[in-house]
Amino acid sequence: MEYPEIKERIEKVRSRAGKAGLLLATKTVDCDRIEYAVRECGVKYIGENRVQELLQKYDRLKELPCEIHFIGTLQKNKVKYIIDKVSLIHSVGSISLCEEIDLRAAEHGIVMNVLCEVNIGYEENKSGFLPEEVPEAFEKMLGFSHVRPLGLMTMAPKCENKADYINFFTKTYRLFIDNCVEKVDNIYEPVLSMGMSDSYAEAAACGSTLIRVGSAVFGQRNYGNQN
């Protein structure tokens, strides 16, 4: 099995991302290509957006030498299906969701790593805490016994001008430094997850520790079979 274009694209992303870690967003990507990226290209993190798709792929994914993250919008009634299958949930945008994660993690006797989702662009169609809500939200997350908040995640608004991405990412980085780093870095490595296929270089330059790329590596997605 050879996918030279995948390896070439991964190398290109890494060269532009610098020190930021690489997470491959694998929505609609088949397990053969994911396995190639992990085993042949050394990818350490993969992220699924949809609970159903994660469950369908899980028997293959769990055998790979990488971490599985959940990076999409997560409904409270779906937490129970993935709580024992992922190592980090990126998209915790409400305290009620955090409460459900804590409850389900307790049932399994585990502590779930999470990121506090920031709606940095104040977009009505996106979930997450508004920037001014982050200090209180992150402090509350630290109080749960079966949840371990590692840092922040954001999805910047779609920008035509790359400089606008830098503006959003810089603001998120400041929130990260002010509210997360000093509280967690003496215990575990803080995580700032920001930057996607159209903005990962800018995110990395602004301090992202983990970029999430899909189409930049796997090409444009085919949603023909998606509901």
Q: How many separate domains does the chain show?
A: 1
Q: How confident is the model at residue 188 (pLDDT cuts 50, 70, 90)?
A: confident
Is residue 85, in this structure, part of any structural domain at all? yes
113 belongs to a structural domain: yes
pTM of the shown model: 0.94
Q: Return the pLDDT at 3.
A: 86
pLDDT, one tens digit per residue, over 56-102 is 999 999 999 999 999 999 999 999 999 999 999 999 999 999 999 99
**CATH number of the domain where residue 14 is located:** 3.20.20.10
CA atoms within 13 A on the CB side of 35: 13
225 pLDDT higher than 50: no
Among candidate residues 58, 65, 18, 13, the one with its CA nearest the CA of residue 40? 65
Residues 6 or more apart whose CB falls under 8 angstroms from that of 177 comprise: none
pLDDT digits (tens, 9 = 90+) for 138-175: 999 999 999 999 999 999 999 989 889 999 999 999 99
Is the pLDDT score of 36 beyond 60?
yes
222 part of a folded domain: no
**Which structure tokens are listed for 159?**
């920008």
In a domain, 225, yes or no: no
H-assigned helices in the chain: 4-17, 31-41, 51-61, 79-82, 95-108, 134-141, 162-176, 182-184, 200-205, 215-218
At 203 the three-state DSSP class reads helix
pLDDT recorded at residue 174:
97
Give me the mean pLDDT over the 181-206 stretch: 93
* Positive/negative CA dihedral, 72, 75, 78, 80: positive
**What is the per-residue pLDDT for 2?**
64
In a domain, residue 165? The reply is yes
Question: Is 196 contained in some domain?
Answer: yes
66 found inside a domain: yes
Residue 169 confidence (pLDDT): 98
- Residue 60 in any domain: the answer is yes
Cβ atoms of 84 and 59 within 8 Å: the answer is no
Q: What is the pLDDT of residue 223?
A: 55
Q: What is the predicted pLDDT for the residue at 21?
A: 97
Six-digit token string for 190? 């803080």
**Structural domain that includes position 27:** 4-217
Among 30-34, 102-106, 120-124, 159-163, the minimum mean pLDDT is found in 159-163
- C-alpha 21/C-alpha 178 separation (Å) is 21
